[in-house]
Amino acid sequence: MKYKKLEQTWRWYGPNDPVSLQDVKQAGATGIVTALHHIPHGEVWPLEDIRERKAIIEAAGLTWSVVESVPVHEAIKTRRHDAEHYLENYRISLRNLSQCGIKTVCYNFMPVLDWTRTQLDLEMADGSKALYFDWIDLAIFDLHILKRENAEADYNSSILKRANEKFATLNEAELQDLRINVLMGIPNEKEIELETLRASINEYAAIGTQGLKENLKFFLNAIAGVCTEEGIKMTIHPDDPPYPILGLPRIASTLEDFEYIINEVNQAFNGVCFCTGSLGAGMKNDTLAIFNAVKERVYFAHLRNVKKDDDGSFYEADHLGGDVNMFEIMKALTEENAKREQPIPFRPDHGHQMLDDLAKQTNPGYSAIGRLRGLAELRGLEVGVTGNY
């Protein structure tokens, strides 16, 4: 059997992305991971807009391989009275994507916020800059900016002490930077206001962890028919970071979570986006064990690395240089890939801001050169693991 390489993809934020499709081609990727960021959450993705985006990508000699993401509206996550309206919009968007030949969709079910970091420019020893999640800074945001009720109960005494001590040293500009960083979510999305966040936290407190799990099952069952008819693979992204923050529940953080998700809606369309960085940030997570448990449902992979400290704070390390054993992950991923008719798409997730990109305006985590380095390292690792050129 002829060896199939993993499909090398690149996240692109559309025509306004500082990284061009020509840059992507020079980096060596062949597939594009993108979304229609100009469409408000919950609205239908028009067929014309999908075709236009696909044509732009294909004109550059690339392929639109994965949608990341078709956002799940908060009305669905909370199962509000108008959830069915947004579910129908979601089903229409999936059918429109399928009509254009785009069959792999990444999504997440994190309440309110997408990935959360407290600093976007942590300086590394080599002068490059990385994304950072610091429990001390998150506690400062929670206690002194958000001022969430009973927030103290979610932190141990050591973190509370250090957070209060550090807060006393911060000026208004530093506190504003922290506020912006935590509320940023993903690039190109509207910032969440504090009052909106407080209201959502109260709403999710009533729903609880089990309620959110039930709402995910509700969502998956509601789109199952369309996905099965159209041959669409849905891939849920792990929580990032993979533990509760700001009083919000998490349901896609651990091995047990993913086994539950797969077993409760045990249909082929219901898959996983295997993100080594998100899962690797969990203090108790064995990333390789999680992959081996769900590998038959892994339809997309994000490969990046993290380095954790004793508190569970972490920064995004070099792709081959953090706590995740990327050699073992790549070995397992390529072994699973060899069994597939279609190769598994992966992308070098995030990357350090480095070299010329240090002087450029870039989307946090998505500058060109750091990801180019990551893709080159991962491509070389694949060759080394498999022996196939």
Query: What is the Cα–Cα distance from 293 to 30, expressed in whole angstroms?
Result: 29
| Among candidate residues 205, 207, 227, 75, the one with its CA nearest the CA of residue 149 | 205
Q: Per-residue pLDDT tens for 84-104? A: 999 999 999 999 999 999 999
With a cut of 50, say whether residue 188 has pLDDT above it: no
pLDDT tens digits, residue range 138-184?
999 999 999 999 999 999 999 999 999 999 999 999 999 999 999 88
Predicted confidence (pLDDT) per residue in 318-373, tens digit: 999 999 999 999 999 999 999 999 999 999 999 999 999 999 999 999 999 999 99
Residue-wise pLDDT tens digits, 26-61: 999 999 999 999 999 999 999 999 999 999 999 999
Please report the domains of the chain, with CATH numbers, ordered by start residue.
7-115+207-386 (3.20.20.150)
CB 301 within 8 A of CB 9: no
pLDDT at position 74 is: 95
Share of the chain above pLDDT 90, in %: 93
Instruction: Grade residue 306 by pLDDT with cuts at 50, 70 and 90.
Output: very high
Higher pLDDT, 9 or 1: 9
Quick check: bond before 241 cis, omega within 30? yes
Q: Show the beta-strand stretches assigned E in 169-311.
A: 233-236, 270-275, 298-303, 305-308
**Is a pLDDT exceeding 70 seen at residue 227?**
yes
Rounded alpha-carbon distances, angstroms, from residue 200 to 17, 191, 192, 203, 246: 30, 14, 10, 5, 11
The chain-wide mean pLDDT, for the chain, equals 95
Question: For residue 142, with 0-12 CB atoms within 10 Å meaning exposed, 13-18 middle and 19 or more buried, which class applies?
Answer: buried
Residues 197-210 pLDDT 10s: 999 999 999 999 99
Token code pair at residue 346: 């992966």
Predicted local confidence at residue 389, as pLDDT: 77
Cite the DSSP H helix spans in 231-284. 255-264, 276-280
pTM: 0.95
* Residues labelled catalytic: 237, 275, 302, 349-350, 366
What is the rounded average pLDDT of the residues 281-307? 98
**Is residue 315 predicted with pLDDT exceeding 70?**
yes
Looking at residue 187, what is its pLDDT?
A: 43
Q: What is the pLDDT of residue 191?
A: 61
How far apart are alpha carbons 55 and 63 in whole angstroms? 9
Rounded Cα distance, 87 and 252, in Å: 21
